[in-house]
Structure 1
Amino acid sequence: MLESRKQVILFFFFTIGIIYISRLFYIQILDPKYKSFEVTNAIKREIEVPLRGQIYDRNGKLLVQNREVYNMYVTPREVEDLDTTRFCRVFNITRGYFDSTMNDAISYSKNRASLFLRQLSKEEFARVADAMVNFKGFSFEQSFFRTYPGHTLANALGYIAEIPKETYDNQETPYYRKGDYIGLTGIEKEYENELRGTRGIKFKLMDVHGADKGSYENGKFDTTAVVGSDLYSSIDMELQQLADSLFQGKVGSIVAIEPKTGEILVMGSYPTYDPNLLSGKAFSENYLNLIKDPDKPTFNRAISSFYRPGSTFKLVQAVVGQQQGVIDPRTSFIGSYSPMGCHGHGNHHMANLNNAVQFSCNPYFYNVFRKIINNSEHDSPFLAAREGLDRWHNMVGRFGFGRKLGIDLPGEKSQLLPDIALYDKYYGENGWKFSNIYSVSIGEGEVATDVLKLANMAAILANKGYYITPHLIKGIGSENSGVRKELLEVHQTGVQPQHFSAIYDGMQRVIEAGTARRAYIEDIPILGKTGTSQNRKGPDHGIFIAFAPRENPQIAIAAVVENGIWGGSSAGPICSLIIEKFIKGKIERRAFAEQVKNTRFVTVAASKAAR
């Protein structure tokens, strides 16, 4: 029995061996598919890099496009009999560059292609193409670099650059090669997966001399590159360029939104730079110059700045106070105590809500906030303040303050909206009351925001109580499709529409006979509010928010001019010209526009440079 089982096992293994040997014989001797290997020693895998998707403005104008170039790669193992001196002369490089780049390639991998020269133009490629037969181991790939026809929107668009080592090493799914380009900031980063497309792969047979013997298996295993998806933005390029010109000689930011859709029309951060500086061979030199600039042109003030909202925040206090039932449009605070002085307008500006809005009355809104915070049954002012602040924080947070709005850009900050935990940290639990926090009533103290949130507040006022997530891209692949669902989400503040309508008269009088008369346009009813944001490092910042027209609003806007002091004279005129251009399609107040362009405000950085 045991001997019989042994013979069965031996027969089984012998049979398997015969099958393998027969198969190998067929593959190596009989199969015509492999006979070509008699003169072949490699199957070369070539990557076909697709063109990156382009980016358009809302009117179909190109914001970002591609320019064709060629990159040279080297596979160190394949380099043979190289005349280094001739090679350097043909490609106009130094021996030092050749040695260092080759050593880097060898350190990376002797068997894998590594980037050697980047971005040769069509003309440069044509000049050297015939010489490549003498340089084994080197090959070209068609590539591209980005160009920016509008020379604008640098911080929002972002830039692409060579993939950082950490990003390369941490790829979850291997896709990028060493030296590949990837979106590092702005829209280029946020929509990297959509823009980059899908790579193609071609397999080629190469003989022992490195000559191309054609495609492997007639291209059976090849895949075709798929061009990246084009992006259709909500930006109005002409409007954006106008904002750039109006902010010459100024530091700050501006954001304009279409209230009904949440689509961003303008997003400017200043000083800005030509995005073409960070594209092409001079990237490194230009990048170093930009990050050394004391006014930080690469910093996106629109979504990452830290400004106190100043008196613009009074509008939020006004509608929240009404919603909570502690005030109504007729509420008067004439004769009420306030540690805050007004602007010399007299007591009649405390007679009702619209008067207070028109003249930005500090004592009035001090008392509004006092009523909101002390709206409690607690006898203890400490317990009342905790309850009142918690209720206030929840309502104001629904306006987007103290949180990220979810814009389709990396780098957005939450900023600051005070809550119980913050004041407990400052003063201890039950160690604070209204008298410790009243500066928040006029948008100072422990509240901070950015320009995007201010523009979003203007959109909420225009919509009478809701906003749609502000976003820059309204179409992926086609003009009106593919946008992320979360960017179309409607956010309700919970404040009833009539409470917004109740302050409209006051906001319109701000423009017509209040603190922003320089923003007045005769035939466009603008509703707005000015603000001054306290600044410890120099002159205060000027703020302005607005929407227009009053009925069926088409644009909501906010601007901050650093060191501009008064929002009505610094930021207001800029916003009014943007409104005029958007609604009328042209600027009729040309002399006024030139005056605004030529107005300068001294920044802290400029002051230091002067000394």
Structure 2
Amino acid sequence: MQYLEGRKYVVQAIFLAVALVFATRLFYIQVLDGSYKLAADRNTLQRIVQTPYRGLIYDRKGQILVQNTPVYDLMVVPREVKQLDTLRFSQLLQLPLEEVREGLQQARKFSRVKASPLVQNLSTQELAAIQDNLIDFPGFSVKARMARSYNTHTMAHALGYVGSITPKLLERPQYSKYQPGEFLGITGLESYYEDQLMGRRGVQYRMVNVRGIEKGAFRDGEYDTLSVAGQDLHLSLDSELQAYAEKLMAGKRGSVVALDPKTGEILAFVSAPMFDPEMLSGKGMGNRYMELLNNPEQPLFNRPLMATYPPGSTFKLINELVALQAGVVTPNTPFACNFKLVRCTHRHEPPSNVGIAIKQSCNPYFYQVMRATVLRGRSSNRFEDARLGLGEWRRQVMKFGLGEKLGVDMGQEKKGLIPSPEFYDKHNGYHRWTYRTVYSLSIGQGELGITGLQMANVMATIANRGWYYTPHFVRGIGSGGPLPEYQVKHTVGVEAQHFDAILPGMVSVVDGNGGTGNNASLADVGISVAGKTGTVQNPHGDDHATFAAFAPAQDPQIAIVVFIENAGFGGNSAAPLAALVIEKHLRGKIAPWRHRWEEWLPGPADRFIKRRRY
């Protein structure tokens, strides 16, 4: 009897323990854990995210460049797909069977319960062809959105493109506000100004029944938020000038960058070879992207920002300004054209002053200018002297915005290279180099690396007599102006009088008798151009051609740098191309007798010289 009494207490204890476990679990589910409540809410509430209109993009004259066009995405929730006839479905979509299967597999990999895009960028006509048949395919739905469309066939490298967010990006905290299938800026201005262009999403909550039929707003829209459209971008780029510059660069590899020196606004930005921005939008964009990526001419490579080259003789201007500021030379300092120091490509009398040296582009002259700057009268064959002087020289040169990122409003910008003493210590060995090791820097060769944008900014600095604004593409965001950092004036630490000293030489390069840049002369239409030619040695093939200039010389309104790969002497090809762009900007048209240049430019460099005689 006592044994039975004990068993009764044991059974009661077990029932009590089970009841306690159930009660605890029920309390946790109903009070502490909100997931079940959320699951129940999802059966009665539908959360609809409203994607705002992406901001539009205009050129400097108010012409619309990029706008929004309605397109449709076919979405799939894998868990809801039942007994799918894949063959019939692929025929309906007019897609390869394997492509449909791969898309479904990717959707399952992402999530079995969340919607993700299977086919994107369907046009209205393509949607109409499949919409009536979707009722036979549970788990699939159509989502409308706005896609980018273009009113221009130019400036693809500047504008950039918009693409679908990838699963890897979604894992990063900074992209937590995006959802699968949404689009964002990938490159160019679309990427840099993503936050301004994308706007702010809105959310609506709708009551639905068990069959998913909408029954109205939840609590009269108390928790709804409105979407806010993205801000428009107003660019400094001139679409007409850009189109003309791209036309001139057709069939070439290289870059053209033109700035307004008084504001830092970029007027033209050409990376050749070019492509139509429409290629990276719409259905089939992925295939077209791969075609561009695999093209041996590398049309996706943004040359003005990413390609670094030795600047050639255009760099002589910087060396002269640094030497003048250091006080080691004067505008009237003469140097012999000594071939024993370095070869000179031009036969001429010894330069008696800096103006003549710039006009003749005398290599031995600028060899001695830089030696005077680096050595300051010290021994030319002592490591210690060269190392100390090169460090001082480099610090002054970098004030021109070289050897570091300028901070333009676009990603992928390269710093370039202004070699330091430590650079030569590493490559030549400590105590194993002297000025003779680095003399090629005096004529813009050797280890120097400068981008087209950086050199254009140097020309803007010379035009302004010693200061510049950071180059930028956007002159207005929404109803406001550009970002504050593009309204800060930077000085380079060289007095204005030294810029005045080199200006006559730059003008004589173009308009003087026997100047190396005579092919850029616009004197016949009353425009004085100040410029400098450059021929960049290329160990992999023909020399590169470059020309840097600004105009009008006394009241500069445009600074321009043209760089053409494998085009030989800069005065033959780069100089006349720059002159055409300058004239187009300043006069709005090209003199009739100069239209022939447009036809000659795409050919070999010597074609221009031969035909100009006629």
TM-score, normalised to structure 2, is 0.87
Contact 1:462–1:553 under 8 Å retained in 2: yes
* Structure 1 residue 581 displacement after superposition: 0.6
CA RMSD of aligned residues (A): 2.6
Partner of 2:495: 496
Q: Give the C-alpha shift of residue 126 in structure 1.
A: 4.2
Are the counterparts in 1 of residues 57 and 233 from structure 2 also a CA contact under 8 Å? yes
Counterpart of 2:452, as a letter, is V
2:599 is aligned to 595
**Counterpart of 1:584?**
587
Aligned runs of 1:182-581 on 2, under 5 Å? 182-334=184-336, 338-348=340-350, 350-375=351-376, 381-478=382-479, 481-513=480-512, 514-522=515-523, 523-581=526-584
Secondary structure of the residue aligned to 1:358 is helix
Partner amino acid, structure 2, of 1:161: G
Shift of residue 400, structure 1, vs aligned partner: 1.2
- CA–CA distance in 2 between the matches of 1:123 and 1:65? 20
Worse overlay, 116-125 or 449-458 = 116-125
Contact 2:72 2:122 in 1 (8 A): yes
Offset of residue 315 of structure 1: 0.4
SS of the counterpart of 1:440? helix
Please give the per-residue CA displacement for 1:307-343, whole angstroms capped at 9, x wherever unaligned.
1111000000111111000111111113767521323
Q: Which residue is 1:57 aligned to? A: 59
Listed one character per residue, the Cα deviations across residues 455-474 of structure 1 (whole Å, up to 9, x for unaligned) are: 11110110011111011111
Offset, 1:599: 2.2
Moved more, 333-342 or 481-490: 333-342
Cα deviation for residue 255 of structure 1 reads 0.2
State the partner residue of 2:115: 113
Q: Residue 588 of structure 1: CA displacement? A: 1.6
Is 1:73 the equivalent of 2:75?
A: yes
Closer, same or farther: CA 77–204 of 1 in aligned 2, 3 Å: farther
- Structure-2 residue corresponding to 1:168: 170
Letter in 1 for 2:556: P
Of 118, 122, 125, the match for 1:123: 125
Residue by residue over 1:10-59, the C-alpha shift from the partner in whole angstroms, topping out at 9 and shown as x without a partner, is xxxxxxx9xx99xx9xxxxxxxxx9xx99x93312222222221111101
Quote the Cα distance in structure 1 between the aligned partners of 2:545 and 2:83: 68
Contact 2:326/2:373, CA 8 A, preserved across alignment = yes
Aligned partner of residue 65 in structure 1, secondary structure = strand
1:385 Cα deviation from its structure 2 partner: 1.2
Structure 1 residue 598 displacement after superposition: 3.7
- Counterparts of 2:508 and 2:573, CA distance in 1: 18
| 1:338–1:367 Cα contact (<8 Å) kept | no
Structure-2 change in CA distance of 1:511 and 1:174 (3 Å): same
Q: Distance in 1 between matches of 2:425 and 2:555?
A: 44
Amino acid at match of 1:526: V
Going from structure 1 to structure 2, the CA distance change for 1:317 and 1:243 (only over 3 Å counts) comes to same
Tell me how far apart the structure 2 counterparts of residues 194 and 67 of structure 1 sit (CA, whole Å). 19
What residue ranges of structure 2 are gaps of 5+ in the alignment? 1-22, 31-36, 607-614
Instruction: Provide the C-alpha distance between the structure 2 equivalents of 1:585 and 1:405, rounded to a whole number of angstroms.
Output: 30
User: Which secondary structure state, in structure 2, belongs to the residue aligned with residue 41 of structure 1?
Assistant: helix
Structure 1 unaligned runs (5+)? 1-16, 25-33, 603-611
* Alpha-carbon shift at residue 154 of structure 1 (Å): 1.1
How many angstroms apart in 2 are the aligned matches of 1:108 and 1:464?
58
Q: Is the 8 A contact 1:574 1:596 kept in 2?
A: no
Q: Once the 2 structures are TM-superposed, how far is the Cα of residue 440 of structure 1 from its aligned partner?
A: 0.7
Equivalent-residue separation in structure 2 for 1:45 and 1:85 (angstroms) = 33
Deviation at 1:103, TM superposition (A): 3.3
Residue 146 of structure 1, aligned match among 148, 164, 167: 148
Q: Distance in 2 between matches of 1:148 and 1:601?
A: 34
**Matches of 2:152 and 2:260, distance apart in 1:** 21
Per mean C-alpha deviation after superposition, the further-off stretch among 523-532 and 185-194 is 185-194
Out of 117-126 and 264-273, give the one that drifted further: 117-126
**d(CA) in 1 for partners of 2:374, 2:363:** 16
Distance 1:587 1:472 in 2: 25
The 2-side partners of 1:237 and 1:599 are apart by 25
Residue 74 of structure 1 deviates from its aligned partner by: 2.0
Structure 1 residues 601 and 71: CA distance shift in structure 2, 3 A = farther
The number of equivalent residue pairs is: 569
**1:381/1:413 Cα in 2 relative to 1: closer, same or farther (>3 Å)?**
same
Give the match's secondary structure for 1:564. coil
Aligned equivalents of 2:331, 2:384: Cα separation in 1? 28
- The 2-side partners of 1:596 and 1:153 are apart by 23
Identity %: 41
Q: Residues 219 and 122 of structure 1: is their aligned pair in 2 closer, same or farther, counting only changes over 3 Å?
A: farther
**Cα distance in 2 between the residues matched to 1:418 and 1:95:** 56
Moved more, 223-232 or 268-277: 223-232
Distance 1:277 1:90, change over 3 A: same
In 1, Cα distance between the equivalents of 2:554 and 2:605? Answer: 34
Give the deviation of 1:148 after TM superposition: 2.1
Secondary structure of the residue that 1:347 maps to in structure 2? coil
Amino acid paired to 1:501:
D
Name the SS for the 2:599 alignment partner.
helix
Distance 1:196 1:518 in 2: 46
**2-side partners of 1:263 and 1:457: how far apart?**
14
Q: Which secondary structure does the structure 1 equivalent of 2:458 belong to?
A: helix
The aligned runs of 1:31-42 (5 Å cut-off) are 41-42=43-44
Aligned CA distance change for structure 1 residues 195 and 362 (closer, same or farther; 3 Å): same
Partners in 1 of 2:360 and 2:171 — Cα distance?
58
| In 1, Cα distance between equivalents of 2:374 and 2:587 | 44
Amino acid in the other structure paired with 2:509: V
Letter in 1 for 2:43: N
Once the 2 structures are TM-superposed, how far is the Cα of residue 67 of structure 1 from its aligned partner? 1.4
**Are 2:264 and 2:469, in contact at CA under 8 Å, matched by a contact in 1?**
yes
